[in-house]
Each structure stands twice: as structure tokens, then as C-alpha cells.
Amino acid sequence: AQKITQTQPGMFVQEKEAVTLDCTYDTSDQSYGLFWYKQPSSGEMIFLIYQGSYDEQNATEGRYSLNFQKARKSANLVISASQLGDSAMYFCAMREGSDSWGKLQFGAGTQVVVTP
């Protein structure tokens, strides 16, 4: 069964606008971590933000924030004030369990295109 679901295969957003990328997850573990990555056309995977299942506050990193709704099992990424350089593929990932060194499971990704 799919553990991480990203339902938006692609999105267009205008420069300076905010965009929300959806991510839902499926786990029976109480302890887990959620990650977002950016992959530009160069192929590198850039770590953006992390949210732990026990974190009470939503994670924020600069223009990135994570809208964590635990009861709904969603971890949406919000990019504020989009820039042309934000055009990339974005992946949501989850690490399950209390094993801090566990593997990441990735969603299918969302392609974001920022237009002038």
C-alpha cells in the first residue's frame, strides 16, 4: 500500500504567490518523521524541512512551512512568495518508527513551475 500520497502531479504558480503542496501519509506508528525535498532539473535532492510526529509546532524554514495536521495524516508544504528558482519537483517522504535511522519512503512528487 502507498505510504505517502502526493495527489498533485503538477502545478503552475505565479511568481510572488504562495503555493501549497499536498501530502498525506499512512502509518500505524506513533513516532515518525516527515520530510520535504526539492529536486531541480539538475537532479540533486535538496532537504527543505522536517516535522516530527511529536512536534507540537508546525515546522518552518525561511519561506517553507509545513502544515501538519496529525489527525488527518497530512503534511502539506507551503512555499510563500514563490520565486522562479522554486521551479522543481517536490517530494514528500516519511520515516517510520522509533528507529531514528530508518529508511525514507517517498511520494510520487509534485512538479512545480513558477511563472513570471
Partner 1 sequence: SAVISQKPSRDICQRGTSLTIQCQVDSQVTMMFWYRQQPGQSLTLIATANQGSEATYESGFVIDKFPISRPNLTFSTLTVSNMSPEDSSIYLCSAGTTIEQFFGPGTRLTVL
Residues that bind partner 1 (CB under 8 A): 33, 35, 37, 43-45, 47, 50, 52, 91, 93, 95, 100-101, 103-109
- Name the minimum Å distance from CB 45 to partner 1: 4
| Continuous segment of H or E residues that includes residue 93 | strand 88-96
SS3 state of residue 85 = helix
Closer residue to partner 1 in complex, CB, 19/94: 94
Q: Are strands 110-115 and 10-14 parallel, antiparallel or unpaired?
A: parallel
- Retrieve residue 31's grid coordinates: 513516532
Task: Write the DSSP symbol of residue 102.
Answer: P
Tell me the closest approach of the beta carbon of residue 63 to partner 1, in angstroms: 18
> Of 32 and 79, which CB lies nearer to partner 1 in the complex structure?
32
Task: Look at residue 63 and give its three-state secondary structure.
Answer: coil
CB of 36 vs partner 1, minimal distance in Å: 11
Our CB check for partner 1 shows the closer of 19 and 35 to be: 35
φ/ψ of 31, rounded to 5, equals: -110, 125
- Choice between 12 and 54, CB closer to partner 1: 54
Report in angstroms how near the CB of residue 16 gets to partner 1 at its nearest.
28
Taken in order 14, 77, 112, 110, is the CA torsion positive or negative?
A: negative
